[in-house]
Structure 1
Amino acid sequence: MNELKILALDTATEACSAALQVGESVYARWEEAPRDHTKKILPMVQALLDEAGITLSELDAIAFGRGPGSFTGVRIGVGVAQGLAFGAGVPLIGISTLAAMAQGAYRLDGAERVVSAIDARMGEIYLGRYLLQDGLMVLDGEEQVTGPEAVAQAETLSGLWFSTGTGFETYADLLSGLADELRPCPAARLPAAQDMLPLAKAAWLAGSAVAPEQATPVYLRDKVTWKKLPGRE
C-alpha cells in the first residue's frame, strides 16, 4: 500500500501554519504572523514539499482550517486550499480550528479533556469542548459563539479540564470557574496545522474528503453586528 500523503494548512487565526504527513513522517512550519498570511502560506507549503521530496500532484488530500476564526483568515485558508486542490486534482478535508487546538493540547500536554476558546471580538468567544477518543479529540456538544458571561453562568464541568486559546487570555476572570479544575495549556493557544493531520487522516479513512468546490468555511457567527454611533440607529 502506498504511503498516505496529506498536506494541512491553516490561516484562521493570528497563526499561519502548514504541515505535511508522508506515511509516518511529519514536516511542519508555524509562525505567528497576523497580517502576513497571504505572503507566508504558499512559501511554507512549497518548503514542506521540497523537504519531503514530493509534488502537489502526489498528495492524497489537502486539509484546511475551516474556522471558526478571523473572517479574513478563514477565507484565505479556504481559498488557498481550493486553489491548490484544483491544481493538484485532489480532494479537501475541512478541520475545525477549535478541534486542532484541542488536539494540540493533547500532543503537547497529554490533555484528554479540553475546552478551546478563541476571542471572537465584539465581546464574544468561539467555544468548543473536546474529549479524547482513540487518540483523537472529539467534539462534546456543539461549537458555539457566545458571550463569556453566558459560559460562566452555565453548569460547571466536573473534574480536570485543560483550557487553551485566546478566549481564555481575554476573559480569564470570567472563564476561570468553567470547570472544577481548569489547567491552562498556553502552548496550544493558537492552532497548528500539524495537529490537523491526525484528524484529517481519520476523516480521509472515513471517506469524508470532498471535492474542492464543496469545501466550505465555518464562521459560527452568521452576521456581524456593528455598534452604531448615537443618532445613526
Structure 2
Amino acid sequence: MPILLALDTSSSACSAALLQRREGLGDELISRFAVTPREHTRRLLPMVDEVLAEAGLPASALDAVAYGRGPGSFTGLRIAAGVAQGLAFGLDRPLIGVSTLEALALGAHRRHHYRWLITALDARMGEIYVAAWGCRDGSPVALNEEAVISPTRLRLPVGHADHDWVGIGSGWRLWDQMPAEVQAGMGLCLSEPEADAADMALLAVRDFVAGEGRPPHAVQPVYLRDRVAWQKGR
C-alpha cells in the first residue's frame, strides 16, 4: 500500500508528514509541525529527514510526494513546490498538489468533527481566499469553487444557509468586513488554525489511489489571483 510524503509551507507554519497506508492495519502517520515565519527554507528539509528516520525508511521507499499547492503565501508556496518537485524528479515519483483550503477543512473535521465549514485565508490587499465544504464519510466535499474575493462579497452557499457553519482560517480575522447575513449564519469562527501536511498527506493518498498523481513538471502552485468572483454553491 502507498507510502507518501507531504510538505507544506503555505503559511507561517512549516510541516512535513509521512503516511503509510497499510491494508487491514490502518494508516501510520508521522508528522512535524512548527510555526516558523521566515524560516521555512531552513526547517523543511530537516523535517523531511526526521519523519523518514522515525519511520525507518529511505526516500526511495516513497510512492509519491505531495505539497500544499495553495492558495497561500506566494513565497511559501514556491518553497514547498521547489522541494517537492526536486524530490519527485530525483526519485522519479508522481507529484500531487493539495489544496490548502481543503486541508484546513479536513483538519477541522478530523479534530473537532465540524461538518459544514468555510475555510478562508487572508490574501492581503483587502481580499480573502475562500471555499465552502460539507464533510461526508470523513472527507470534505466542495460546495463551490475556491476563489479570491473581498470579504464584503462573501456569501453562504446557496441552499445551505440554514446549516451550523464554522469558519476556519486567518481570513476570519476580517470578520468586521463581512456581510451581516454571513455573520448571522456562523456558529463559530477560528482564525488560528493553519494548514498542516498531516492533513495534506491524507488527501494526497486519496488522490494517489485514484490515479491522480502527475509528472513533477505538470504540478504548479495555485494562486487564485485571477479568480475574482465567489462562485455560487451547487
Paired residues of 2:120 and 2:129 also in contact (CA < 8 A)? yes
Paired residues of 1:152 and 1:174 also in contact (CA < 8 A)? no
Is 1:18 the counterpart of 2:21? The answer is no
Structure 2 distance, partners of 1:153, 1:25, is: 36
Paired residues of 1:10 and 1:64 also in contact (CA < 8 A)? yes
Is 1:102 the counterpart of 2:102? The answer is no
Partner of 1:130: 133
TM-score by structure 2 length?
A: 0.88
Is 1:58 the counterpart of 2:61? The answer is yes
Trace 1:153-164 onto structure 2 (pairs within 5 A). 157-164=161-168
Paired residues of 1:109 and 1:185 also in contact (CA < 8 A)? no
Partner of 2:92: 89
Structure 1 counterpart of 2:162, which letter?
S
Correspondence for 2:203 among 199, 202, 213: 199
Structure 2 distance, partners of 1:139, 1:75, is: 25
- How many correspondences in the alignment? 219
Structure 1 counterpart of 2:40, which letter?
H
TM-score by structure 1 length?
A: 0.88
Question: Structure 2: which 5+ runs fail to align?
Answer: 22-26, 228-234
1:181: how far off?
Answer: 3.4
Is 1:43 the counterpart of 2:46? The answer is yes
Partner of 1:228: none
Question: What secondary structure does 2:69 align onto?
Answer: strand
Structure 2 distance, partners of 1:164, 1:184, is: 6
Distance 1:14 1:177, change over 3 A: farther
Structure 1 counterpart of 2:185, which letter?
D
Question: Structure 1: which 5+ runs fail to align?
Answer: 224-233
Trace 1:134-173 onto structure 2 (pairs within 5 A). 134-151=137-154, 157-169=161-173, 171-173=174-176
Counting aligned pairs with the same residue, the percent is 44
Is 1:182 the counterpart of 2:187? The answer is yes
Question: What secondary structure does 1:76 align onto?
Answer: helix
Partner of 2:230: none
1:37-77, Cα deviation, whole Å (9 max, x unpaired): 11111000010000000011111111100000011111111
